[in-house]
């Protein structure tokens, strides 16, 4: 299977061509409820994660929510 390069929080990752955004989030063991996910500077609705296939050069930013007051 062909590999592509993407960037996750500034780090380059090599992934399989047909990887979904959900696959990446799961592989990073990130609690989905506690993060915002941005793909190419656009906030992604978490309901769509499994439907979004990543493409070469995609940039993903995963931001954790921090509580406090």
| Region 20-45 average pLDDT | 94
- Kindly give, in sequence order, each residue whose CB lies less than 8 Å from that of residue 66, ignoring residues fewer than 6 positions away: none
Q: Is residue 69 part of a domain?
A: no
Instruction: Indicate the number of domains in the chain.
Output: 1
pLDDT in tens, 34-66: 899 999 999 999 999 999 999 999 999 999 877
- Report the pLDDT value the prediction gives residue 65, as an integer from 0 to 100: 78
Q: Across the chain, which distance is largest between two alpha carbons, in Å?
A: 48
Q: Which pTM does this prediction carry?
A: 0.88
Please state which of the ranges 11-15, 26-30, 53-57 shows the lowest mean pLDDT: 26-30
Place of tokens 């959900």: 22
Residue range of the domain that includes 36: 3-64
Residue 34 located in a structural domain: yes
Residue with the bigger pLDDT between 8 and 31: it is 8
User: Is residue 59 assigned to a domain?
Assistant: yes
Task: Please give the Cα distance from 67 to 64 (Å, whole number).
Answer: 10
> CB within 8 A of 53, min separation 6: which ones?
18, 19, 20
């Amino acid at each position: 299977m062909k590999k592509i390069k993407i960037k996750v929080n500034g780090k380059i990752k090599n992934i399989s061509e047909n990887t979904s955004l959900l696959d990446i989030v799961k592989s990073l063991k990130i609690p989905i409820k506690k993060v915002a996910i941005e793909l190419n500077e656009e906030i992604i609705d978490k309901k769509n994660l499994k439907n979004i296939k990543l493409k070469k050069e995609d940039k993903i930013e995963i931001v954790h929510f921090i509580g406090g007051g």
